[in-house]
């Protein structure tokens, strides 16, 4: 469906008024600002249309043409749109998912905009996820945290506190298992939840940069450092940390184990909070902590899948496109679009405000101030799709039977050689 917003034919100089950025001569200015978005579900669509309305109201010289496409269909349409020259701005994702369009020369390098617009300061926690081959290729507009959601009442019953170190984590887990519970619920039926565990264990064992190099195919899966990650994972498996038969459950089907008190915690994205509340757990029973440090010398990297806007390399109206990206990432707009009535996620601008929600505030503080290692996009976004599928199958197999580790690592290494 196409929505067209027209606000007159005044000079596009008005588009830069709210940003205060002096654009260099030669930036393209031609016709309407053409935005292609995949924010097709009702709440995101309302957010997208609202942003366009506010942007044009504040910049009366800009004419905006907004095309909203089904989110799944957009995955196959984006390349054609970028190649056809019909878009100035498009929605997409950060991290490796940008790679094909960066490599094909279809996204514009906007490093100058980040510097001139002060984005390297206000969006500092996400800059790494937008950077590739020495350039910055877009801006984020929303993300959400991953971390450990746990039963505070069970921890209190057992005299436990939220851990900050691996030693504390293992000690807590031993006490939880002794009480007759599993430390963690998890459902690996659809594989990606096991990818989250690998992400955190690898970033805590070897660091964010190593993790990114591995997902980029630059490190062998048989490397001893990768094996060390799996050894830390096996420590938990051997303790009985995870529920039985996790391969039989989706992530939603694994929730009752935590709700019923059969498991004490869940490593998951913030989207799990709503169903936990709906299932009857109160905020007094729920807590959140950052995945604990394994090597204290390694700054913590975090999974925070990030949705983005990009300027097409062949955009005709570059000046208005840049103004729109600065508008999207402004503290005021970030506060508005990410509140609970809209996207219900986290603002990417560190100067934004967050809804009065315990878990959103915890995530915002963690990602803004305590994710110095870097922001990962999640395994199936950071690795190519084929590699992610093979690897996550391997993660699930390892969790079922750790004795297959050598076989799993060899399969992953063979896949790396073929896929990259």
Nearest alpha-carbon partner for 177 in 129, 238, 124:
238
- The span from the CA of 325 to the CA of 25, in Å, is 19
pLDDT at 22 over 60: no
Contact 337/142 with Cβ under 8 angstroms?
A: yes
* Residues paired with 35 in a beta bridge: 66, 89
Record the tokens describing residue 189, joined without a space. Answer: 């039926």
User: What pLDDT score was predicted for residue 30?
Assistant: 60
pLDDT average, residue stretch 208-226: 96
Say yes or no to pLDDT of 254 above 80. yes
Tokens of 274: 């709503």
The predicted structure's pLDDT at residue 137:
98
Question: Which pLDDT score, from 0 to 100, does residue 333 have?
Answer: 98
Residue 8 pLDDT > 80, yes or no?
no
Share of residues in the chain with pLDDT > 90 (%): 85
Q: pLDDT of 147-160, one tens digit each?
A: 999 999 999 999 99
pLDDT digit string, tens, across residues 277-310 = 999 999 999 999 999 999 999 999 999 999 999 9
Distances (CA, A) of 250 to 13, 110, 205, 389: 52, 39, 27, 16
Measured CA to CA, the distance from residue 313 to residue 304 in angstroms comes to 26
Tens of pLDDT, residue by residue over 97-112, are 899 999 999 999 999 9
Q: Is the pLDDT of residue 2 over 60?
A: no
- Residue 3 pLDDT: 44
Q: Dump pLDDT digits (tens) for 328-362.
A: 999 999 999 998 889 989 999 999 999 889 999 99
Residue 173's pLDDT band (cuts 50, 70, 90): very high
Q: Which regions of the chain carry the CATH code 3.40.190.10?
A: 2-143+306-352, 146-303+374-419
Contact criterion met (CB below 8 Å) for 291 and 200: yes
The stretch 384-402 carries a mean pLDDT of 96
Average the pLDDT over 219-233 and give the result: 98
Q: What is the pTM of this model?
A: 0.84
pLDDT tens profile 65-100: 999 999 889 989 999 999 999 999 999 999 888 999
| Pick among 3.40.50.10860, 3.10.310.10, 3.20.20.70, 3.40.190.10: CATH of 2-143+306-352 | 3.40.190.10
User: With bands split at pLDDT 50, 70 and 90, how would you rate the model's confidence at 121?
Assistant: very high
Q: What is the pLDDT of residue 29?
A: 54
CATH 3.40.190.10 fits 146-303+374-419, yes or no: yes
Is 143 a residue whose pLDDT tops 70? yes
User: What is residue 95's predicted lDDT score, i.e. its pLDDT?
Assistant: 86
């Amino acid at each position: 469906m196409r929505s067209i917003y027209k606000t007159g034919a005044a000079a596009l100089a008005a588009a830069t008024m709210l940003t205060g950025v002096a654009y260099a001569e030669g930036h393209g200015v031609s016709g309407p600002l053409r935005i292609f978005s995949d924010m097709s579900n009702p709440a995101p669509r309302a957010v997208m249309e609202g942003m366009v309305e506010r942007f044009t109201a504040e910049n009366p010289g800009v004419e905006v043409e907004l095309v909203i496409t089904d989110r799944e269909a957009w995955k196959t349409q984006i390349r054609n749109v970028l190649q056809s020259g019909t878009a100035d701005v498009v929605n997409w994702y950060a991290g490796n998912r940008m790679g094909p369009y960066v490599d094909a020369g279809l996204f514009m390098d906007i490093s100058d905009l980040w510097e001139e617009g002060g984005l390297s300061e206000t969006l500092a926690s996400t800059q790494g996820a937008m950077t590739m081959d020495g350039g910055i290729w877009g801006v984020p507009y929303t993300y959400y945290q991953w971390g450990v959601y746990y039963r505070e009442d069970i921890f209190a019953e057992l005299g436990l506190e939220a851990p900050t170190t691996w030693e504390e984590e293992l000690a807590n887990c031993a006490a939880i298992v002794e009480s007759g519970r599993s430390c963690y619920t998890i459902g690996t039926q659809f594989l990606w939840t096991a990818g989250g565990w690998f992400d955190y264990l690898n970033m805590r064992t070897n660091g964010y940069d190593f993790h990114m190099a591995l997902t980029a195919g630059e490190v062998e899966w048989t490397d001893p450092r990768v094996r060390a990650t799996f050894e830390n994972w096996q420590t938990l498996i051997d303790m009985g940390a995870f529920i039985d038969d996790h391969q039989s459950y989706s992530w939603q089907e694994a929730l009752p184990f935590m709700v019923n008190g059969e498991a004490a915690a869940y490593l998951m994205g913030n989207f799990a909070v709503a169903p936990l509340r709906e299932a009857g757990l109160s905020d007094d029973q729920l807590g959140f902590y950052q995945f604990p440090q394994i090597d204290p010398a390694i700054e913590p990297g975090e999974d925070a899948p990030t949705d983005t806007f990009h300027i097409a390399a062949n955009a005709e109206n570059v000046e208005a496109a840049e103004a729109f990206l600065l508008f999207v990432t402004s503290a005021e707009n970030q506060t508005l679009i990410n509140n609970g009535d809209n996207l219900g996620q986290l603002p990417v601008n560190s100067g934004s405000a967050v809804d009065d929600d315990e878990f959103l505030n915890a995530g915002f503080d963690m990602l803004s101030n305590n994710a110095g290692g870097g922001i990962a996009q999640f395994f199936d976004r950071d690795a190519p799709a084929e590699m992610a599928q093979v690897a996550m199958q391997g993660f699930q197999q390892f969790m079922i039977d750790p004795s297959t580790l050598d076989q799993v690592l060899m399969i992953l290494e063979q896949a790396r050689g073929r896929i990259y």
